[in-house]
Amino acid sequence: MGLFSGLEQFGLGKYNDAKLMEEKKEDNTLINAGENQGPKVREEDVLYDKRYTCPVCDISFTSKTVRAGKIKLVSKDTDLRAVYEIADPHKYDVIACENCGYSAVGRYFGKLSTRQMRDIKDQVGTNFRGISNDKELFSYDDAILRYKLALVCSIVKHAKNSEKGYTSLKMAWVLRGKRLTLKPGDTAILQLYEEEMECIANAYACFVEALANEMMPIAGMDENTIKYLMAELARKLKKYDDSAKLLAEVITSKATPARLKEEALNVKALLKEDIKKNGRA
């Protein structure tokens, strides 16, 4: 199954083999979350319906989102994936218009150019069969489909590489979130891991282009943060020389905050272990 499989249910099966990049012309850091007190809070209890207006078809609709301050941070992965108690907010970050199918992560859902609106209408909206935002909560499968829609829309509207990279990264986080809910031995674990690594590879490739050609901030990150993230993605992809170079730039920069420098040193230690175990690629 390809990364974009499942889109045929929305009338977008032609994108099952889509390529994200255009041709040129778990390791966790634990954080003390405190003890849970009082009645058990459900995922549904921390969600609400937020209203949006689609920039493509001008239809008003609601989409589930997590209430600010209602969930506590439990841990953070080395690639910046935040893990919370009660709910995984990454499942709710894609905003999908139920009328025309235009979808994007919240950071990028805003204004579009005239050409982008036309392309979304012609290449997505004309075939779109609708999507429901009325569910009480989104499953990981619901979220994964929404990320696939967002990636397809990023391809159709010729989004910047920073947007494609950020969307791919967040899809990797959601795939990981689902994978970590499964019991050992589940046959879906390997496929989810492979799709997660495909998303990480796409994110890294897009961020490389963004770092070379776009202005800071990139996906809301300053230069040292994006370089740290890219170093960790490169390590996961066994691009050890690239990872080492980026880590060195972060660690030696006077502009790097102490906390980020400490995280970079932790990844550097992981990198050394990987090289010792696997050898240099």
Query: Could you report how far apart the first and last alpha carbons of the chain are, in Å?
Result: 28
- Contact, 264 vs 247, CB < 8 A? yes
Bridge partners (DSSP) of residue 73 are: 84
Render pLDDT for 220-229 as a digit per residue (tens, 0 to 9): 999 999 999 9
- Model pLDDT, residue 6: 66
Asked, for residue 233, whether it belongs to a domain, the answer is no
What tokens appear for 244 in the block?
């080492």
State the burial class of residue 40 (Cβ atoms within 10 Å of its Cβ: 0-12, 13-18, 19+). Answer: exposed
Q: Does residue 33 surpass a pLDDT of 60?
A: no
Residue 41 within a domain:
yes
Whether 7 shows a pLDDT value over 80: the answer reads no
Picking from 213, 245, 216, 217, the residue whose alpha carbon sits closest to that of residue 230 is 245
Q: Structural domain of residue 90, as residue ranges?
A: 7-19+26-159
Residue 85 lies in a domain: yes
245 within some domain: no
The answer to whether residue 174 is domain-embedded is: no
Decide if 264 contacts 251 (C-beta within 8 A).
yes
Q: How many independent structural domains does the chain possess?
A: 1
Question: Which token pair is 180?
Answer: 């970590």
Task: Evaluate whether residue 110 is within a structural domain.
Answer: yes
Least confident of 76-85, 91-100, 130-139, 188-197: 130-139
**pLDDT tens for residues 98-148?**
999 999 999 999 889 999 999 999 999 998 988 888 889 999 999 999 999
- Residue 10: pLDDT band (50, 70, 90) is low
Give a yes or no: residue 263 inside a domain. Answer: no
Residue 209 domain-assigned (yes or no) = no
